[in-house]
Structure formats: C-alpha cells, structure tokens
Amino acid sequence: MLKHWAEGARHGAFVFTSNVDGHFQAAGYDEARVLECHGTINFMQCGKPCGDAIWPSCSMINGIDIDALAAPSLPRCPHCGHLARPNFLLFDDGFWVETRSSAQWERLRIWLRTVQRPVVIELGAGTAVPSVRMFAESVRGPLIRVNLDESEVVGDGVGIRGTSLDVLSAIDAALARA
C-alpha cells in the first residue's frame, strides 16, 4: 500500500527504517530511496574492522546461509582474515562500519531538499530505541504516527492507535472512496 501511494506522489517517497532485513528492497522499493539507519543483514564487514569495506552476504557467501540463519563455517574478512560480522548496528557497538548508511543519509538529505512539506508516515516505532521517532519528528511536515501503545503526537500531525496493517488498510480504503 505504501509503495502504491508513493508511486502516485509527485516526488515519490523515501523509506527510513531501523529494520535490518532488507524487506523494503525485496518488496520492490528503489534501493536509492531507502535509508537503513541501523544497517543491514545483507552486507558483511570485518569484525575488527580493518577498514571500511563491506561485501554482500547474500546466498552462501562467507559461509552464511541467510535464509536459514546458519553458518556451517565462521565467516572471515577477505582482507585480513579476522572474523567477519553482519553490517548492522548492535547495542554499544563501536565497530559498525557506517559507510553504506552514511551514503543513504546523504541521498535522503538531497531528496528532502526537493520536497516542500513531506508527509511522514511512522509505523510502529518504539521509544526504547527512538532513532525512527527522532527522525520522523525532525522532518518539517505533518506526521502520521501509527502505534499500538504510544501513538501520541505533539505538534503538526495525528496519532492513530492500531497495527500498521489495520491502519494502512483503513486509510487505503478511505483513499479509494475519496
């Protein structure tokens, strides 16, 4: 539904997600319009790290079966031989290679300069790790906050209590009637 709405919007949409599963790209969203603020399971990096290199972790590269979440052999950095790790941010993680996320931030900043007053649709973002909420509230535009427990909005916007699927389905039905 979100992708369908975005396709009808003049400037399209930009995805900001703390999910690391790459499901937006798998659903057909343009890779150049996705920011994964906590990184992605679809790339690997050196655990040390010995540099800024990241490499795709798809299929059985580096010995990890992503679909089965199994590693018959431990993945190694192709540059130094140290243990490799997924390229996403853990708690108290001082070793995450941020280059990919930084490039995504740059593309988002450029896109935000082209739009006047983007509507932000925030789905199920928690307050414990508020990365998504902080970004959503930083954008100068109306905020639609969809959340089961914490849907309150201060300022320009509306909070809707419910699951993302239920609320988006209701909005989609209302748009179809309009």
> Rule CB under 5 A: which residues touch Zn ion?
46, 50, 77, 79-80, 82
Measured from the CB of residue 82, what is the shortest distance to Zn ion in angstroms?
5
- Residue 56 backbone dihedrals phi, psi, to 5 degrees: -60, 140
Minimum CB–partner distance for residue 79 and Zn ion (Å): 5
Q: What does the H/E/C string look like for 138-171? A: HCCCCEEEEECCCCCCCCCEEEEECCHHHHHHHH
Shortest distance in whole angstroms from residue 102 CB to Zn ion: 19
Nearer to Zn ion, 18 or 62 (CB): 62
Nearer to Zn ion, 11 or 82 (CB): 82
* Shortest Cβ 62–Zn ion spacing (Å): 12
Task: For the CB of residue 83, give the shortest distance to Zn ion in the complex, in Å.
Answer: 9
Smaller CB separation from Zn ion, 61 or 110: 61
Q: Which residues contact 173 (CB under 8 A, 6 or more apart)?
A: none
Half-sphere exposure of 92 (CA within 13 A, CB side): 0
φ and ψ at residue 134, rounded to 5 degrees = -65, -40
CB burial of residue 118 (10 Å; 0-12, 13-18, 19+): middle
Nearer to Zn ion, 52 or 166 (CB): 52
Compare residues 97 and 108 and give the one whose CB is closer to Zn ion: 97
